Amino acid sequence: MSESTNATYAAAGVDIDAGDQAVELLKPHAARASRPEVLGGVGGFAGLFSLKLDRWKEPVLASSTDGVGTKIAVAQALDKHDTVGIDLVAMVVDDLVVTGAEPLFLQDYIAVGKVVPERIAELVGGIAEGCVQAGCALLGGETAEHPGLMGEHDYDLSATGIGVVEASELLGPERVRPGDVVLAMGSSGLHSNGYSLARHVLLDIARMPLEGHVEEFGRTLGEEMLEPTRIYAKDCLALAAEAEVRTFAHITGGGLEANLARVLPAGLRADLARGSWTPAPVFALIAQRGKVARAEMEKTFNMGVGMVAVVSPEDADRALAVLTARHVPAWILGEVRATDDTEGPRAVLSGDHPRF
């Protein structure tokens, strides 16, 4: 009989004690991102949320799952992990609010090559901050250690969120009418889409250092690329409460035309004016350094528009006033028109951006 090797889970690369330490470090973050409906705390097998049904006549649950994408590679390169959690929450809750749903809670999944408790706490701290900004609870999550599958310093994030909306207040294509006004809400930058192209152009082709100061940004390239995604959930809910909103569109992968088209019915088209805004310098830099065609830029990046609201023409001024009061950059982007071309695009950009 061969001599025992005394194999252990830790020797195979999974450190349960480090996982337990990480849980202890993240508990304060989870406690900060809570709501009155949350029952219990961190550590149970399932998160509990008391859905008070007397608040709604006919509640409809909305769900969304997403991740951060290759923006994580920038965070890992800079060893800065406290903001990508905000991006994660934004990608989930701003999809929920498009339906008119109020985000209730979120559960995260963190896959790592090796559990470093302090890094997990940084990541969850960002997720908790995003939940606070969105008004939802961080109800629970899972951290999984994958030695042999991922490098020691590698990790990936995903999350699922649940929201609720009154059935009679569901937003969507069926509400949109000819003459409705399309309002844009400014993005905070790249948000969390197109990073494979952005990294290829800025880091591989242009060979710009992440730590290098960029005059057009007024800060380093890394700081610009890690700028957290703007979370619009509370702003959209406030807008829907104050004005006649037909629908929202979260501008992520696919760009402005493709995402707005998802919430427009057949027979209607949104005509959008590029001349109504100037994209932030980061978009111009990517286009110039990578010689990226405008069509490619517009189907990859948000180009400065992170969320769109389609509102009744009578409420357009009121809607702009609500967003301005909430410190959300907003402007009239275009108008919805009837069209006989049911096979053509449902959202069309025309004109040129000023100074782009």
Predicted confidence at residue 8, as pLDDT, reads 45
Residue 212 has pLDDT above 50, yes or no: yes
Q: What string of H, E and C letters represents the secondary structure of the chain?
A: CCCCCCCCCCCCCCCHHHHHHHHHHHHHHHHHCCCCCEECCCCCCCCEECCCHHHCCCEEEEEEEEECCCHHHHHHHHCCCCCHHHHHHHHHHHHHHHHCCEEEEEEEEEEECCCCHHHHHHHHHHHHHHHHHHCCEEEEEEEEECECCECCCCEEEEEEEEEEEEHHHCCCHHHCCCCCEEEEEECCCCCCCCHHHHHHHHHHHCCCCCCCEECCCCEEHHHHHCCCCCCCHHHHHHHHHHCCEEEEEECCCCHHHHHHHCCCCCCEEEEEEHHHCCCCHHHHHHHHHHCCCHHHHHHHCCCCEEEEEEECHHHHHHHHHHHHHCCCCEEEEEEEEECCCCCCCCEEEECCCCCC
Predicted confidence at residue 7, as pLDDT, reads 56
Per-residue pLDDT band for 21 (boundaries 50, 70, 90) equals low
Query: Once rounded to an integer, what is the mean pLDDT over residues 202-216?
Result: 97
Query: Once rounded to an integer, what is the mean pLDDT over residues 302-327?
Result: 98
Predicted confidence at residue 177, as pLDDT, reads 97
The residues, ordered by sequence, that sit 6+ positions from 304 with a Cβ below 8 Å of its Cβ are 186, 187, 277, 278, 279, 280, 283
Query: Once rounded to an integer, what is the mean pLDDT over residues 315-342?
Result: 96
Domain end residue (candidates: 116, 133, 166): 166
Point out the least confidently predicted range of 19-28, 117-126, 277-286, 320-329. Answer: 19-28
Q: Model pTM?
A: 0.90
Residue 144 has pLDDT above 50, yes or no: yes
Does some domain include residue 299?
yes
First-to-last alpha carbon distance for the chain, in angstroms, is: 75
Given the structure tokens 């399309």, which residue do they identify?
A: 182
Same domain, 128 and 160: yes
% residues pLDDT > 90 (the chain)? 76
Does some domain include residue 314?
yes
Predicted confidence at residue 181, as pLDDT, reads 98
Same domain, 220 and 249: yes
Residue 82 has pLDDT above 70, yes or no: yes
pLDDT mean across residues, the chain: 91
Predicted confidence at residue 350, as pLDDT, reads 94
Predicted confidence at residue 24, as pLDDT, reads 67
Same domain, 197 and 328: yes
Domain end residue (candidates: 135, 166, 197): 166
Residue 150 has pLDDT above 80, yes or no: yes
Same domain, 153 and 215: no
Domain end residue (candidates: 114, 133, 166): 166
Same domain, 159 and 190: no
Query: Once rounded to an integer, what is the mean pLDDT over residues 324-331?
Result: 98
Predicted confidence at residue 17, as pLDDT, reads 57
Residue 19 has pLDDT above 70, yes or no: no
Same domain, 135 and 259: no
Query: Once rounded to an integer, what is the mean pLDDT over residues 173-199?
Result: 97
Predicted confidence at residue 26, as pLDDT, reads 55
Same domain, 147 and 177: no
Same domain, 209 and 152: no
Q: What is the pLDDT of residues 190-199, one digit of tens each?
A: 999 999 999 9
CATH number, domain with residue 310: 3.90.650.10
Same domain, 340 and 195: yes
Query: Once rounded to an integer, what is the mean pLDDT over residues 230-245?
Result: 98
Does some domain include residue 356?
no
Q: Are 95 and 66 in contact (CB under 8 A)?
A: yes
Does some domain include residue 4?
no
Does some domain include residue 282?
yes
How many domains, in total, are found in the chain? Answer: 2
Higher-scoring residue by pLDDT: 72, 20: 72
Does some domain include residue 115?
yes
> For residue 215, which amino acid is it?
E
Same domain, 73 and 219: no
CATH number, domain with residue 57: 3.30.1330.10
CA distance 85 to 80: 11
Residue 4 has pLDDT above 60, yes or no: no
- Most distant pair of Cα atoms in the chain: their distance: 85
Cα dihedral 290, 275, 71, 161 sign: negative
Same domain, 49 and 150: yes
Query: Once rounded to an integer, what is the mean pLDDT over residues 291-304?
Result: 97
Does some domain include residue 2?
no
Predicted confidence at residue 355, as pLDDT, reads 77
Point out the least confidently predicted range of 11-15, 246-250, 336-340. Answer: 11-15
Does some domain include residue 355?
no
Given the structure tokens 């907003």, which residue do they identify?
A: 330
How far is residue 221 CA from its own chain's centroid? 20
The 10 Å CB-count burial string (b at 16+, else e) for 324-348 is: eeeebbbebbbbbeebeeeeeebbb
Predicted confidence at residue 10, as pLDDT, reads 55
Query: Once rounded to an integer, what is the mean pLDDT over residues 284-298?
Result: 97
Same domain, 59 and 121: yes
Q: What is the pLDDT of residues 86-101, one digit of tens each?
A: 999 999 999 999 999 9
Predicted confidence at residue 39, as pLDDT, reads 82
Point out the least confidently predicted range of 20-29, 54-63, 148-157, 174-183. Answer: 20-29
Predicted confidence at residue 29, as pLDDT, reads 61
Point out the least confidently predicted range of 7-21, 66-80, 249-263, 286-300. Answer: 7-21
- Which residue segment(s) compose the domain that 108 sits in? 9-166
